[in-house]
Each structure stands twice: as C-alpha cells, then as structure tokens.
Structure 1
Amino acid sequence: MLKTEEGEKVMGNRKQGYALNEYATLKEVLMCLPEKMKIKQPLNEAQKKYKKENINQDIALRQHEELRKTLEAHDVKVKLLPVADNKTLPEQVFTRDLGFASDNGIFLGRMNEKIRNPETDIAKNWLEAENWNYEELRNGSLECGDVLIDGDVVYVGKSNRTTETAIKELKKLFFDKKIVVLPIGKKYLHLDCVFNIIAPRTAILHPDAFAKEDVRRISMHYRTIVINADEQFHLGTNVLSIGNDTIISLPGNNRINNEMKEWGFNVIEVEFSEIIKSGGAFRCVTFPLLKHH
C-alpha cells in the first residue's frame, strides 16, 4: 500500500478511504452545494414545519461556504460533488446519507426515498472519476446518517430509512466488528439526529428517541450530554467532530455548546439556520472520505 503526497492511502492505483471512528482528525470530506436546495416533498418534521417558508438558496449557499471555509482553515480538504442539472434533487446537500468511510474503506449505502436515488449515481461517478476505491451495499435501504463507527463497534439506527435487510448485509461486511442495532422513534430522521459520538467515550444523546434499555446501554459506554426535545428539533446532536476535541456546532444551541466547552472541547459556532430547515446540520452535509487515526 502506497501513500500519495496528500497522505491518501492507495490500493494499486486507487485511493482508499479510511475512518476508524467519528472523532479522529478529518482530512478530506465530500460535500455538495445547496444550489437546488428546496423543500419539495416534506420528508421529516423540520421540512413539514418550513414547507411554506421554504429555503432561501442564497442564504443557504453563504452558510455552506462559511462551513467550507471553516473546514479548510482546519486543514480539511473539501471536495464538491457536481450539482445535478435538473431540479429533481433538492436534498443533494446532505452527502452524509450517501456513504461512509471505515477502516475497510468507503461504502455507499442505498437511499430509501426514490427522490434521492440519483444522488448515489452522482457520487459513484465522482468516486470513479477521482479514483477512489469503494464498495456498494446491495440489499434493502441504508442511509448513512444511521451509521456511527467507534473502533470495533458499529452503531446502526433502525429508522424509517434503514431496513433490516441492509443491516444484515452490514453485519456480513463488518463481521469482525460488533454491530449494535438501535431502533429509533418514527418521527426521527436518522440516528445522528438523536445520538452522536464526539470523542472517546463521549456522546450527545436524546434519550426520548430510544427504548430505555438502549439508553442504558449507551450510557454505560459514554458520558453523555443529554438534550431535550427542543434542542433535538434544532439539531443539537448533529454537530461535526473534526478531531483534536474540536466541534462545529450551531450558535443557537447555547446550553449544549457551553457544556461541551466545560468538558474541554473547542466549539466553533457556524450559522446554519437556512440549511437546518430541511432537517440536517453539520454531520448531515459532510461525507468524510479520510480521517487520520
């Protein structure tokens, strides 16, 4: 296995993605401009609330640019997927759902909503053109906002978007890891909207989304910042850990941000008020390709 100047692992002549957990140093990430972002067919609670008001694309683009600049200032290489020519992909900004990196490389999931299926093809074309090695899941649906990796453990949210069939396939692909399936309440979009691992043995959790037994299980392994329903609606869990105890978070979630600061985190607040109207924040709009462990 070779390395390029940028530090990417290369298998043969193909680049190999890598991430061992959620909080290692982010080096390269795949994003997509919110140029065509729109609430067309409400798919979650936030979109139902903001359907009439909808998305101001100019503001969304400015906020997205601010996030990209913040990442680049922390030595993260930001790559952009092409925005579809037509207007049928209003969710394209949420690249996290397309796939994930692991210590076994990059995997592409399968979209549950037909409106989002062409997004995967665009991602595949990009990965091919940029010479990245990847594998695809073949069965059921798995949207990767439902996948959290922490070393030898993979947490998978069983949501409206991720099916039992896909989870079985994931168990085969990651036979050497412990797969922990966490069913979440129907009104919640993805696992990372209610649970997020931000550092070793440290997480943000919205307990109402889970069975009591699962809350106990999570709490045994992680010290948790527990968030309420209002904080969850405002995507308090959907922060992005970029390594070195540095977290990108929404400015409005003051209590959560203050608690993270008290726990020694460097919290960078980035305004994202327009994009969160569609039900996703910083973790949702970033598909890590490469993290250093």
Structure 2
Amino acid sequence: MLKLNIKNETSRLRAVILGTAKSNGPVPKVEDCYDPKSRLHVLNGTYPKEEDLIVEMKAALDVFIKYGVAVYRPEVIENCNQIFSRDIAFVIDDKVIKANILPDRDREIEAIRYVWNQIESKNRIILPEECHVEGGDVMPWNDHIFIGTYSGEDYADYITARTNMDAVIAIQELFPNKTVKAFELRKSNTDPYNNALHLDCCFQPIGKDKAIIHKNGFLIENEYNWLVDFFGKGNIFEITKEEMYNMNSNIFSISEDVIISERNFTRLNAWLREQGFTVEEIPYAEVAKQEGLLRCSTMPLIRD
C-alpha cells in the first residue's frame, strides 16, 4: 500500500505522479480549448507538437531520477492530453481527493487507477457532485490550506472557473484542524494575460517561508495583501503580467532547497539562486503554451 503524506509544497519529495505527453491527440479546435492560452496558440498556429512535449517531460523525469524520487506515470490513453496530472486529483496529509473536473477529462482518472488502488480505501475521497475542484487551486501549507476559487454569479460562464465555494467548504470539513483560506481569482475565457486558471498560476510558496506571487491574479486586493503579510514582503518575489503569462509561479519544489524551473525564467532563477536555492533548469516552454507548467504536470504523493 502507498502511505501518502503531503503536508506542504516543499518538503523532500519521495513519490510523484508525472503526466505524460504520449498520444497527446490532434491540435484542438478553438471552441474545444479549455483555457485562453491554448486557444491563443491554436489561433496563431503555434500549438505545441507532441514530440516537443515528450522531450520536455523527459527532462523533468530526469531531474526526479537524479534526486531518487519514485515516479508514477498515467497509463497512456490514445489521443488524450494527459500532461496535467495535478488537475485530476490531489493529496493532503494521508488522503487523496479526486478532483471533480470538466466531464471530458474523467478518462484521465482511469489512467491512474493503478495508483489509486494502492491507497487505503478510507483515504480515497470523492467529493459530492456539486463540489467543483482541481488540484492546481489547492495548496497545503502546514496548518493552512490555500484554495483558489471563483464565486461570481457568472461562474458557469467561465470554463476557466474550476473550483467553487462548495468545494472549499467540503475541504474545510475534511480537515477541521487546518485553516482553509480561499482566494478569489481573476478569470477570462479569452485573455490569457488576465486569467489565473488556478491559484498556482499566480502564487506558490517555496522554501520554508518564501513565495512567488502575481498581484493581478487576485480579484480582491485584501486577499493578496493577506498573503504578502503572511509571508512577509521581503520573502516575496513579485512577477509581472508577462511572467505570469509564461507561468513563472508554476515551478516545482523537490525540497526546501531544490526547485525545478523553466530555463527561460532568467529573472526568477537568478533571484532563487540569490536566496540559496539549487535551481534545476529544464526546457518546459512548450508545455506552458497550454496554461500549465511544472506544478500542473506533477501530483506529489509522498513528501518527508
């Protein structure tokens, strides 16, 4: 059996599910895109090619192997985008919670059924149908759980609104001893520069007490200010709109000292090194064209 353990975003990683780009399917039609960034690349003829995505994900795999992390991969479904394993489920403490995601993506859950079956049944959680949630919006941070959400009355109009208040309440009930803090995110179906698809598209904790953040990703300034106060202004790396678009906050921690980052994130990577982090730089810019990066394509199962 797998003994899950995820208390935060940065403790030493021991086991992870890494998505796959194999048999990724054809370029989607514009009307079938789930997010504005993919839509933009379809319109511009720059949508990523499967062979390039496979190379990038192999680079991520190589870093995990270097650090002795056990890596699980989804079973390949023909012509299906299975890169973003974070969307389909997530772990908090010793529990795995199945995401209630876009109905088209339910097949992706089946592809990790062999992992799910290794987890004690009492620790496999399926939320009620009215709870919408994806793993990119959920961040365990020790005694807190940060959750990105959107509670506008026009929620149903946004294919980019993935986590609702019903899910926030359900997660609070599952973890009564933790403080669940929800943040309203800015949503757009058409403008990737003004859309925070998930919380990890505009914010992520790193190390023991630092964070990357993009102010415009948050709809409510006070909620952004709360995070700045929580981490302390001197511990925060503020990213620009362009850097958010390129997914600078969507890096991934192997430990409190080691971070996998995209090699083009020059400003961020320099700052991380100044702070004493080891930065493993890899190419991941093609993956980023689908509005996800390293955190989106990984689902941690066990950290120390």
TM-score (norm 1): 0.89
| Cα distance, 1:209 vs structure 2 | 1.1
Using the alignment, how far apart are the partners of 2:164 and 2:270 within structure 1?
36
Name the residue aligned to 1:75.
68
Deviation per CA, 1:161-183: give whole Å up to 9, x if none: 00111111111101110000001
Per-residue CA distance 1:143-191 (angstroms, 9 max, x = gap): 0100011111000000400011111111110111000000100022100
Q: Is 1:93 aligned with 2:83?
A: yes
Residue 125 of structure 1: CA displacement? 4.6
Secondary structure class of the residue paired with 2:61: helix
Q: Cα offset for 1:286? A: 0.4
Pair 1:119 & 2:108 matched:
yes
Q: How does 1:253-272 map to 2 (within 5 A)?
A: 253-272=265-284
| Aligned-partner Cα distance in 2 for 1:268–1:53 | 26
Asked if the contact 2:18–2:74 (Cα under 8 Å) also holds between the matched residues in 1, the reply is yes
* Residue 37 of structure 1: how far off its partner (Å): 2.7
* Cα separation, 2, equivalents of 1:175 and 1:166: 14
Residue 131 of structure 1: how far off its partner (Å): 4.8
Cα distance in 1, alignment partners of residues 2 and 68 from structure 2? 19
Counterpart residue identity of residue 146, structure 2:
Y
The Cα shift of 1:94 comes to: 0.2
CA distances 1:235-255 after superposition (whole Å, capped 9, x unpaired): 000000110411111111111
Amino-acid identity (%): 24
Matched residue, 1:213: 222
User: Is residue 2:188 matched to residue 1:188?
Assistant: no
Is 1:142 equivalent to 2:150 in the alignment?
A: no
Offset of 1:265 from its aligned partner? 0.9
Runs of 5+ unmatched residues, structure 2 = 151-160, 188-194
What corresponds to 2:93 in structure 1? 103
CA distance in 2, matches of 1:42, 1:123: 23
Aligned residues between the structures:
274
User: Does residue 65 in structure 1 map to residue 58 in structure 2?
Assistant: yes
Give the match's secondary structure for 2:111.
Answer: helix
2:243 aligned with 1:231, yes or no? yes
Contact 1:99-1:109 at 8 Å conserved across structures: yes
**C-alpha distance after superposition, 1:97-128 (max 9, x if no partner):** 112222232222210x2221221233335421
> Where does residue 155 of structure 2 map in the other structure?
none
Contact conserved, 1:26 with 1:290, CA < 8 A, in 2?
yes
- DSSP 3-state at the match of 1:243: coil
| Cα pair 2:206 2:256 within 8 Å, conserved | no
What whole-Å deviation, never above 9, does each CA across 1:233-279 have from its counterpart, x for those lacking one? Answer: 00000000110411111111111111111111111111012111111
In structure 1, the gaps of 5 or more residues are: 1-13
Deviation at 1:33, TM superposition (A): 1.4
Distance 1:276 1:199 in 2: 23
CA distance in 2: counterparts of 1:181 and 1:104, whole angstroms: 22
Give the structure-2-normalised TM-score. Answer: 0.86
CA contact (8 A) 1:29 1:288 kept: yes
Cα distance in 1, alignment partners of residues 51 and 111 from structure 2? 23
1 CA distance for matches of 2:261 and 2:119? 32
| 1:249 pairs with 2:258 | no
Name the structure where strand makes up a greater proportion of residues: 1
What one-letter code is carried by the residue in structure 2 that aligns with 1:170?
A: I
Matched with 1:290 is 302
Alpha-carbon separation, structure 2, partners of 1:239 and 1:32: 15
Q: Give RMSD over aligned pairs.
A: 1.5
Moved over 4 A (4+): none
Q: Is the 8 A contact 1:110 1:120 kept in 2?
A: no
How far off is 1:198 after superposition? 0.8
SS in 1 for 2:271: helix
Q: Which residue of 2 aligns with 1:24?
A: 11
- 1:54 matched residue in structure 2: 47
